[in-house]
Chain A
Amino acid sequence: EPEVTQTPSHQVTQMGQEVILRCVPISNHLYFYWYRQILGQKVEFLVSFYNNEISEKSEIFDDQFSVERPDGSNFTLKIRSTKLEDSAMYFCASSDQGPEETQYFGPGTRLLVL
């Protein structure tokens, strides 16, 4: 069964450093998403991406964040200068196009900013 994969599973970084989180969506999907979950809190939407551009972003997704689909298979989230409060689980999701297309989530990357 096709699945969304994410790398790395864990990432530890120093405050102010750049991190890139990687995702391989399900191969025929057209919509891509990033969500995050701070420990003990709700899953929060960050950004959606379609047709090589951002289709929607939340207020969390400020100038420190960027997304890219550098090739036909990867979808990345870059945090330019990490802050302590960026520590969270980051989940990638993908879906096909349509009125009832399900979003399928990856296992997540646990980011710890020290």
Chain B
Amino acid sequence: DAKTTQPTSMDCAEGRAANLPCNHSTISGNEYVYWYRQIHSQGPQYIIHGLKNNETNEMASLIITEDRKSSTLILPHATLRDTAVYYCIVNFGNEKLTFGTGTRLTIIP
């Protein structure tokens, strides 16, 4: 089973920041937090990952709490093309990825 818990669905207005939460209370010290998204039935797309520090790239920001038991993915200015299922996954090294059901994010025009 997935080691993360995410809300089933969320809506966000176009142009606003989308904040997607994830709980991973059983994360171990060497596991990273990864975020992927899947648009329709396309291949999962990597977004960002982090260990304990906050991270930012051209797609998103990742905020990890100090105890590492939860994190938030932030899409700063959501567009309609950001409508997708977002997966939060904890993983280490080259282990298999275990996907949960993710959060279905709908961007509202």
- Which residues of A approach B to under 8 Å, CB–CB? 4, 31, 33, 35, 37, 39, 42-45, 48, 50, 55-56, 58, 89, 91, 93, 95, 97-108, 110
B104 to chain A, nearest CB (A): 12
Contact across chains for B93 and A99 when beta carbons are under 8 A apart? yes
Nearest B-chain residue to A96, judged by Cβ: B94
- Which residues of B approach A to under 8 Å, CB–CB? 30, 32, 34, 36, 38, 41-46, 49, 51, 87, 92-101
Residue from B38, B41, B51, B101 within 8 A of A110 (CB atoms)? B41
Q: Tell me whether chain B's interface is mostly helix, strand or loop, or mixed.
A: loop
Contact across chains for A45 and B43 when beta carbons are under 8 A apart? no
- Could you show 24 A-B contacts with beta carbons less than 8 Å apart? A37-B41, A39-B41, A42-B100, A43-B44, A43-B87, A43-B99, A45-B96, A45-B97, A45-B98, A55-B94, A56-B95, A56-B96, A91-B43, A93-B43, A93-B97, A97-B94, A100-B93, A102-B49, A103-B46, A105-B44, A106-B43, A107-B42, A108-B41, A108-B43
Nearest A-chain residue to B38, judged by Cβ: A43
Chain A neighbourhood of B101, CB < 8 A? 42
Chain A neighbourhood of B97, CB < 8 A? 33, 35, 43, 45, 93, 103
A29 to chain B, nearest CB (A): 10
Residue among B38, B44, B51 with max Cβ neighbours from chain A (10 Å) = B44
Q: Tell me whether chain A's interface is mostly helix, strand or loop, or mixed.
A: strand
Contact across chains for A31 and B94 when beta carbons are under 8 A apart? yes
Distance in angstroms between the alpha carbons of A93 and B44 in the assembled complex: 9
Distance in angstroms between the alpha carbons of A31 and B100 in the assembled complex: 22
Contact across chains for A108 and B46 when beta carbons are under 8 A apart? no
Distance in angstroms between the alpha carbons of A42 and B101 in the assembled complex: 6
Contact across chains for B94 and A95 when beta carbons are under 8 A apart? yes
Known: A43-B97, A99-B93. 8 other contacts (CB 8 A): A43-B38, A43-B44, A55-B94, A56-B96, A93-B43, A100-B93, A102-B46, A108-B42
Chain B neighbourhood of A33, CB < 8 A? 96-97
